[in-house]
Amino acid sequence: MVNTPTAPRRKATAMSQKTWGGRFTGGTDARVEQFTESISIDRRLYRHDVIASQAHARMLAEVGLLTADEAEQIAATLDEIAGEIEAGKMEYSVSLEDIHTHIERALIERLGDLGRKLHTGRSRNDQVVTDVKLWVRDAIDELDGLLADLQWAFVESAERERDVILPGYTHLQRAQPVLAAHYFLTYVEKFQRDRERLADCRKRVNVLPLGAAALAGSSLPIDRESVRKKLGFDAVARNSLDVSSDRDFLLEFVFDLSVIAVHLSGWAEEWVIWSTTEFNFLDLPDGFCTGSSIMPHKKNPDVLELTRGKAGRVIGALQQLLVLVKGLPLAYNRDLQEDKAAVFDAFDTVAGCLAVAAPLVRQTRLRRDVIAARIEDGFLDATTLMESLIVRGVPMRSAHEAVGRLVRRCEERRCRLADLPAEVFEEVAPGVGGQLVGKLGVEKAVHAFQSVGSTAPEQVAGQVEFWKKVLA
C-alpha cells in the first residue's frame, strides 16, 4: 500500500531552524513560510524518504564518509522516526517546509552532529525526486493489483453469463449480436493495456536520481551504484543536470492514470444507461446505489456516476502537470513543488474508483429475461444475412443494398427479417434469397461468426480460458 500518515498536529510555536540559512541575516516572513510549505501535501512520502536515507547513509559508510556504526545509528533512528509518524506523533511545522526537513530535523534532535552528516553528498533536489520515484513505483504496483482484480471480476462475469446474447451497439443503435462473455472480456482487454502502460512507465520510473545532488553531481566519492542496488532501481540516471528538472515520469504516470479513468468512465456510462428503465439490462446491487430524498421509488447508480465524473479530475491533473513543466528552465525550480498535489490526487482518485469497481462488477447481474424478450429486435442478424448472400456469390455492395431493401420491407410490415416470406427474399435476391429462409435469427447469427477474435462461441470460450491462465 502507498502509506499516508494521520493528519498532522501543529505546534503552538514553530521551529525556526532551516536546512539553509548561513547566507541569510533575517528570519523568513511567516507569510512566506505558510505560502511555501509543502508538508501538508508531501508528508505521505515519509516512508520512502526514510528508506532512501537509510540506503544513502549505508553508502556513505561504505565510501568512508561515515563509520558503519554511525550509519546503523542513523538507520535505526530513522526507523524510530518513521514509527512515530505512523503513530501520529510527529509534530509538523510550516517553518520546516517539507517532510524531508522534518525527518532530518528529528534526526538531528536525537543524534546531534551525526544527524547533520546524513545529507552529505546529496541535495533536496535529488532527494525529493528519489522519494517521489519510490512512491510512484509502489503506486504502480498497487494499481496493477487493483486492475488485475477488476479484470478477474469481468472474467467471472463472462463465465457466469456466457450463454447470454446481447445486442451490440454502434452510435447507440443496435448493430450485431454479441455474447455477453465477449462483451465482458472487452473490458479485460482495455484494463490489460492499462497494466502494460503502467509496467512500461515503471521502467522509466525505476532509474535512480540520488547522487545527482543539486544539479552537477558531487565532488565527494559517493557510490551511486551501491544506492541503486539497495533501493532496487534498474539503472542510475546518467545526467545530473537532467535529474532535478525531470518530471517526465510523472507526466507519463498521470497520463496512464487518465487513460484508466477514461476506461472506467466509459464503462460507468454504459452501465448507467443499461440500468435505466428504458434499457433495463442490469440489476445493480443495492449496496452500490442510493435513493432519492423525495422520490421513494428511485434507485440511483451513484457509484457509476461518480466514477464517470471523477475522470475529469484525473484528466485535469494531467493538464495541470503539463502546464507546470511547460517552459521551465534547467535545472530545479520551486514550481516543481506543485507536482505532488496533482499526482497524489490523481492516484487516490483512480485507486478509489478501482476499489469499488471490482465488487460492483461481481455483484451485478444481467436481466436475462428482459434482454431475451427483445433480442430479436433491431435487425441484429442483417449483417450476417448480407454475408450469407456474399458466400452465395452476390457482390458485397449488391448484397448490402439487397438487405437494406429487406429491412425496409420489414419496417413497412412491422416484422423481423425471419418473418418475411420466401418470395420477398427471392424478389430482392433472385436465385439465392430463397435459400436463406429458416437461417435467420440472432442465435444463428452468433454461431455464423468465424473470424479470430470474433464473438463466435468457440472463439469466446477460448478467450475466457486464455484470460483465466493469464490472470492466474
CB 77, CB 111: distance < 8 Å = yes
Residue type, 348: D
Crossing angle of the two packed helices 124-160 and 180-205, in degrees rounded to 10 = 170
Give me 171's grid cell: 452510435
The single-letter code of the amino acid at 422 is A
**Pairwise CA distance, residues 171 & 409, whole Å:** 23
DSSP sequence for 413-425: HT--GGGS-HHHH
Return the ∠ at Cα 80 (arms to 77 and 81), rounded to 5°: 90
Q: How far apart are CA 215 and CA 242, in angstroms?
A: 8
Q: Which of 392, 404, 182, 361 shows the shortest CA–CA distance to 274? A: 361
User: Are 358 and 150 within 8 A, CB to CB?
Assistant: yes
Nearest residue to 139 (alpha-carbon basis) of 401, 340, 370, 295: 340
- The answer to whether the beta carbons of residues 224 and 211 sit under 8 Å apart is yes
Reported residue count of the chain is: 472
Pairing of strands 173-179, 207-208: unpaired
For residue 219 the three cell numbers come to 565532488
Catalytic residue among 171, 219, 293, 297: 171
Instruction: Verify whether residue 53 is a known catalytic residue.
Output: no
Active site residue 171: yes
In which residue are the cell numbers 545527482 written? 212
Sign of the four-CA dihedral 454, 455, 461, 463: positive
- The grid cell for 448 is 455464423
Q: What is the CA radius of gyration of the chain?
A: 30
Catalytic-role residue among 182, 292, 398, 451: 292
Residues 50, 57: Cα–Cα separation, whole Å = 10
**Active-site positions?**
171, 292
